[in-house]
Each structure stands twice: as C-alpha cells, then as structure tokens.
C-alpha cells in the first residue's frame, strides 16, 4: 500500500471513530415536575452535551393559572439574571461565564423555583425557547441546540388504603383492601417487616397455626416521592375444632361377658386441621367409657324390646389442646351369645349362617353375613363360633 493510500485509510478509520462524538446533540432540558397543591418545587434547567458555552439567554413559558415561577438560582455560570412576568406567563433567564473557554459537558443553567397555584389534577408544559446560546470565544459562535420541555403536574397526596379486611384458614391470612387515590402502589409490611410493593389489592401469607400478625399498608406516589399514612390491622388465625371420625369394626356384636366378644372402636382417622394434639373420649352407651383412638369394649348387656334389639348409641368426642372439640355418634348392635341373625333366639338359622361363612376372614371379602357369623369378633368364622351357637342353643333374648 503506497503512502497516499495509507493516509487515506487512516483518515477514514479516524472518521468512523470521531463521527459518533460529533453527532451528539446539545439540548436545553427541564425535567418533569410533580407537586401537591400550594407547594413549591425546584427543578434544574440543564444544558446537556455542550462545549465551550459562554452565554445563554432563554425563555420558559408557563400557564400562570397553574404555576408561578418564583426565582431562578444556583447556576454553574458566573452570572445569572432572571426576569419573571407572571401575568404574561413567562420568565427570561440570562447567564454568562467569565472564563476564556466557557463550560463543557452537562451544565446547569439554574434551579427554577416553582409554586403550584392550580388545582390537583391540572398539568402544564414548561416550554423552553432559545434566544441565544453562544461559545465563550470572541467571535461568539452560536451553538445549535434542541429543547426538551418539562411537564408540571399537580397531585393530591397519596391516600391511605381503606376497607381493610381479612379471611383466615388454618395456616393462611388473606388481606384485601381498596387502594387510595394518587397511589402508584401500596407498601405491605407484616409485623413491621417489609414484604413487597403491591399493585394488587390483596396479600396472601402463610403462618403457623394460631399466629397473630399485624399488616401495615401505606400508599406511595412516585411523582411526589411521598407515602400516605399507615393503616394497620392485627389478625389472629383462630383455632379450628378437630374432626371426629369414629367407627365400630364389627356392626354385629354379642354380649361378651360370658363368651369373649369384644366390640372394637377405631377413631384413628380423627384429626385436627391445625395439627394440634388431640385426645379421645368414648361413651359406649352403657355407662362405660374409653379414652384412646383404638379401644375394645365388652358389653355385658343387650337391649331387647320384645320384638327386636335396640342398638347402643356410642359417642366419640375428640378434643384439641385449646379445648375445642367435636363429637360424632354411631350405633352398635349387641345380641345374646349365639344369635347370629339378630332374631332373639339361637337356633338352626344361626348355625346355618355360621356354616355358610365357615373360614371367612375379615381381611378377605368380609361382608355383613360374615360379620354376623363371627360371634366372638376375632375376624375368623371357625369352630369357636360354632361352639357359641351350640352352647347357647334355644336361648332367647
């Protein structure tokens, strides 16, 4: 590559890297302003991406029924002078730097102090127009620039959430509320600990059973950078009564005081929704009681009304550690020994049932007739049941 071509190549490469920097636009900008009624706000007027600026002269036009300009102060320039015409709705601002090379980069023209005189919900554009923007050099070269206008908006303070309600189950609290006006989100705290900034109107949380928790809510407005007052609610997850589930393993039973025949009761399916400890109280209907989940009880009597047996009413009461309880009732048939079919007499019909169900076991297709034939409640129909029938032949209730 000859010298001329090399030079051309270097210039082109240099242009590629320099061009983006030269393309940066100078802007005079005002940020958006959010303020409450009758309050003041301060917003910076910035000259961004500028080189060697020495003087500037701008107008900011506004709606004087919504906002007034009080003053313009705190400039990066050595001199600042602002003339405000509230009735006409504009302020003229002039600045000057006394150095030989001016100011560079992002330069603050001044802090503009604004007062809200309108009503909540009103808004106005802060329009910038450039009268003059020049370099610090003797030839006072103009600097081309664009403007980035600001928006002045009046908001009321964010309102506190209201209608705070809750629902509970065994391990959960669900709070619901109505969000107040002028809030971008609601801050949620539980027992003083921040949880989330919530745009929804509900919050679910899981706790141990019986927990007491306080939710604290306040609205937040990002424009005003302001929170509302807190609303608080303390909630205790209530205790839930245990669930009593009881059954008798054998529907048909015999008086067991002479021939061993224990009625088996099972409450192991009972449970407590809160996972509390539970206790069991049985009333077997014959003035006898039990207190475990699986019990055996031997009936020493039966209820014969002259034409049939009346069952014993058995109750199971399950109680938790907090004293809450639930009760379930069931009925138990108790016949005289050997009376398999419950007709009040021990005879050939009872022997027939025993024979038909011979060798039946309660773990293998146990049915109602098998239960009738199992006279000693050992879950097997065998010679012991036949002996009970034979020994009590022709006995009547």
What is the rounded CA–CA span in Å between residue 90 and residue 82? 10
Look at residue 208 and tell me whether its pLDDT is greater than 50: yes
Whether 247-391 and 25-154 are alike in CATH topology: the answer is yes
Look at residue 8 and tell me whether its pLDDT is greater than 70: no
Q: Which of 12-21, 66-75, 297-306, 362-371 has the lowest mean pLDDT?
A: 12-21
What is the rounded CA–CA span in Å between residue 195 and residue 188? 6
pLDDT of residue 363: 78
Helix 383-391 to helix 348-356 angle (10° resolution) is 180
What is the rounded CA–CA span in Å between residue 58 and residue 149? 12
pLDDT of residue 9: 43
pLDDT confidence bin for 22, thresholds 50/70/90: very low
Domain ranges of the chain: 25-154, 162-236, 247-391
Q: What are the tens digits of pLDDT across the range 212-231?
A: 999 999 999 988 889 999 99
What is the rounded CA–CA span in Å between residue 133 and residue 97? 12
Average pLDDT estimate for 298-305: 95
Segment (H or E) for 386 = helix 383-391
Which of these, 55, 89, 52, lies nearest to 75 by C-alpha position? 55
Report the share of the chain in percent with pLDDT over 70: 94
Average pLDDT estimate for 257-264: 88
What is the rounded CA–CA span in Å between residue 371 and residue 77? 105
Look at residue 41 and tell me whether its pLDDT is greater than 60: yes
Which of these, 330, 337, 175, 152, lies nearest to 258 by C-alpha position? 337
Name the maximum alpha-carbon separation found in the chain. 138
pLDDT confidence bin for 23, thresholds 50/70/90: low
Average pLDDT estimate for 368-389: 93
Query: 162-236 in CATH: which number?
Result: 2.60.40.10
φ, ψ of residue 77 in degrees (nearest 5): -80, 160
Q: Was domain 247-391 assigned CATH 2.60.40.10?
A: yes
**Do the Cβ atoms of 102 and 54 come closer than 8 Å?**
yes
Average pLDDT estimate for 321-329: 95
Q: Are strands 202-206 and 212-221 parallel, antiparallel or unpaired?
A: unpaired
Number of other residues whose CB lies within 10 A of the CB of residue 327: 13
Quote the mean pLDDT of the chain: 92
pLDDT confidence bin for 364, thresholds 50/70/90: low
Which of these, 30, 57, 62, lies nearest to 46 by C-alpha position? 30
What is the rounded CA–CA span in Å between residue 112 and residue 59? 12
Q: Strand, coil or helix: what is 40?
A: strand
Average pLDDT estimate for 190-203: 97
pLDDT confidence bin for 362, thresholds 50/70/90: confident
Q: What are the tens digits of pLDDT across the range 101-130?
A: 999 999 999 999 999 999 998 999 999 999
Query: 25-154 in CATH: which number?
Result: 2.60.40.680
Look at residue 246 and tell me whether its pLDDT is greater than 70: yes
pLDDT of residue 62: 97
Cα-to-chain-centroid distance, residue 18 = 55
**Do the Cβ atoms of 208 and 231 come closer than 8 Å?**
no
What DSSP designation does 341 have?
S
């Amino acid at each position: 590559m000859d010298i001329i071509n090399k030079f051309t190549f270097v210039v082109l490469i240099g242009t590629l890297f320099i061009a983006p920097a030269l393309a940066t636009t100078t802007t005079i900008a005002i940020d958006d302003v959010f303020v409450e009624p009758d309050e003041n706000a301060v917003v910076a007027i910035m000259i961004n991406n500028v080189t060697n600026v020495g003087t500037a002269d701008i107008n900011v036009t506004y709606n004087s029924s919504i906002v007034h300009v009080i003053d313009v102060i705190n400039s990066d320039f050595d001199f600042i002078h602002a003339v405000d015409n509230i009735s006409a709705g504009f302020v003229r601002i002039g600045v000057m730097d006394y150095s030989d090379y001016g100011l560079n980069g992002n330069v603050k023209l001044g802090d503009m102090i604004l007062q809200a005189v309108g009503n909540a919900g009103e808004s106005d554009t802060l329009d910038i127009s450039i009268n003059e923007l020049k370099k610090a050099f003797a030839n006072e070269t103009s600097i081309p620039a664009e403007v980035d206008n600001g928006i002045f908006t009046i908001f009321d303070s964010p309102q506190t959430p209201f209608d705070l309600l809750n629902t509970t189950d065994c391990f959960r609290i669900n709070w619901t509320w109505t969000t107040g006006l002028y809030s971008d989100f609601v801050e949620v705290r539980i027992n003083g600990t921040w949880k989330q900034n919530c745009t929804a109107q509900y919050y679910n949380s899981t706790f141990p059973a019986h927990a007491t928790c306080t939710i604290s809510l306040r609205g937040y407005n990002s424009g005003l950078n302001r929170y509302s007052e807190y609303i608080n609610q303390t909630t205790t997850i209530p205790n839930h009564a245990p669930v009593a589930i009881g059954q008798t393993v054998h529907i048909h039973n015999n008086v067991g005081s002479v021939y061993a025949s224990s009625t088996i009761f099972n409450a192991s399916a009972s449970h407590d929704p809160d996972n509390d400890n539970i206790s069991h109280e049985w009333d077997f209907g014959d003035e006898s009681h039990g207190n475990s989940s699986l019990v055996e009880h031997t009936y020493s009597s039966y209820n014969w009304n002259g034409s049939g047996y009346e069952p014993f009413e058995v109750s199971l009461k399950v109680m938790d550690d907090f004293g809450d309880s639930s009760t379930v009732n069931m009925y138990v048939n108790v016949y005289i020994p050997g009376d398999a079919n419950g007709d009040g007499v021990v005879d050939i019909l009872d022997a027939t049932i025993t024979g038909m169900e011979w060798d039946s076991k309660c773990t293998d297709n146990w049915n109602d007739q098998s239960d009738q034939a199992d006279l000693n409640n050992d879950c097997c129909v065998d010679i012991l049941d036949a002996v009970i029938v034979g020994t009590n032949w022709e006995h009547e209730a």
